[in-house]
Structure 1
């Protein structure tokens, strides 16, 4: 075994250990990429994740030259490229030399900084079995073609990264399943215990009203019945939030059923095809729940409109009521925990949540999620 082969095996071992230890995706990829660059002649690298629709995201990069770092890596994030095109067409199977890179060329031509001699890069798909995740690109100065040995080493690292990405995705799925099971268990417990107790109190208070002839006693039992009925409605809404009933029948049907449970009259307008990943679908459902809860509690109206517009790049989700509205001051914190929850959920998917409201003229919630 040559010295170079021995050093490559040592490098792969160190990268494998790092990948196995990390549990967060981006720190894991940045760490592995950094270690790879330090152990080879490559000087810079970047990783794209590419979804099923071909939309790419710059997920990690290390030691980029000034020209490629300019303005938040704008030249890496925009424009076309041979490697991405070949990847989308499923023609990129292994580590390859790139004849030319339009993004690097655009960065050089724009004269926004030193390119450090980087003109061409090597590329390799990140995959595990039949699943593909994106691309690993690396480069070194004044090099237009990389050797077979360099490409083989790059392919080995990409294989390790692909396996680690798959492991993290599987771990996350297991965690989400465990969370769903726990929500279901808690929902069952609430339904079987607290929910049934509240229902029993409403029946008892109703009987008390009928059994007494004294007005004060009747009024007391009537107050108990109304308070208990309100608590029962709150409890049913909480159980719905823990375990969405009907989501398996479709997002729209689940939202309509939840609105019915809150005694709201909901009109839904849809344009585009509703075929969302499960995480996006659940987020939209949770957002709808919070929005409808806010209408029931604060808007003083039972009439709600909902609009869902799906384009090739975005989901626009709007909830509109003609209620009493509120003073919306963007400089102050959001006025309710529910509104902050909506914002947090949407931002977790890279989206935005905004409210337009005016006293006496209702409230409009506008959600935009990249798709």
Structure 2
């Protein structure tokens, strides 16, 4: 009896039970009602038969659908599992049984995480635990472990299903995506290799990336690269260890060892069992080797070396992948070699630029140093030209020297024969000071000066306390570094400039060169100051001689004349010639007045300070009267217009210029008329001395007749002076200077 018949019998029993409970009384039953009821029962019976037929057809369809589902579940191309909420497998299809190499019953005793490889199980366990928290499908990729077959990389997709009011199960599908994963790894490895090409890495870096790529996308136990260097006759073998911490090596080997591989061409490869040209340890670990050529512009640049247990391990599809990598690697090596050449050129260019930069900086430093030195020299020249006093000149030199050479003590020593004539000492202190020392001692008492004078060369000692040279005797205990340079005047040593520091090693050859150059300029300044000093002494001597002549020519003659006239006056009085006494008395009075004037002029010359107490107009009047006393035939016109108050300097200069001009007139010009004019106009004072004498040739006698004295007087007050003269046309002297008196 099938299931349908059982259901019909159950329905009959239920119907009879219903009739028994609701029994109809016979008196209620009439023939008409009975016929109607019978008809209804017949209709109902037919309906039931039809429904029963439909139910049979539906049941058959359901059984067929269940069989199809069972076949689909069992023979699906993916592994299906039904897992309870604790993660244990309740159902597994036939594909799962085959894929994982386990009996169905053994799978039913496993946790779903045990399907994964040991290192992935924690990840799968956490994945399943999180499934109960979400209701949407979830995915996980992991390595799975199969019994008797290789592990595979799979994608686990899961969805939750309700199996009861409080129960939940999970349907899980595991798809083998190993091939896709390998392809992705291959693409990633090729991408890394391309990145290495584009990044301009070195050949070594590119090959390291390539070996990593080969390890990732090929199943071989070992991968390496051998590059050939034909010109050097060498081969570089790149390889790595396959420990947890991978290390890369590259060894230089003879190219002759790889001669059997040098004939490889594009799209070619060669397998060698136990190659004798590889290291013994490598052959022992990997007996079988596959060599794929690396071609670059139709030239064999090297090979990729794969190692495996047997020759049969090298599959054609993997060889095709290796050839693709070799092609990429050839391009990468070519790019890397170009990059290395460019980098080498760039490094060379950078070194050249840095070298030139250093040279330029040194040149600029030297130029700056030279410019500073030139500025210091110019400053020194300007300063020492402002004064011809030897001591002031030497003090200015030591002050200026501080700008180019750092020192603690400095001296300028002036020598005369074998004696130290003058010493200017400068000491750096809280208040720097100069000391003017004139020892007048023999040079031999100072060995360092005597040595410089003897050798005629500079001396540089950077460690005075440890120097065994006897010349350091006499240097102060504070001196640790010493630098001395001779000062030459023509070919003779005029003196020494020496500087010292209280720290060893303070002076350089550069300092020595600067001090020697400084000494050359200093020698000119010192020589000029000494010449000026001697000229001053000579000028004083000449002035004394001139005063003596003036005393003899003027005052002495006047006194003699006064003496003779006085004697004549006495005799006339004795003779009673009273009519002539008055005339001679007038002559005596005039002569006495002339003597008084001449003596006043001489006193002014001997004591110029007296000029400040007398107006310039009065001074010039006295000068003219003194001249007229001696040269009565000379006509001198003095015109002094209103002048501003003058300091002693300009007043003395004007007086001396006019005095010198009148001296020239009376001594040389043979003039009859002289005009002296002084006036002020628009902030300037003008002086004019003009005569009608014989004149002279300025070209042939530029410095005669005291002209240089007049020019010096004008220069002292910053005045401009012009002297004009022609033979037969007299002389004209014109001087102009501002009333501001900037030089005073």
Q: What TM-score, normalized by structure 1, do the two folds share? A: 0.47
RCO greater where, 1 or 2, for CA within 8 Å and sep 6 or more? 1
Please say which structure displays the higher CA radius of gyration: 2
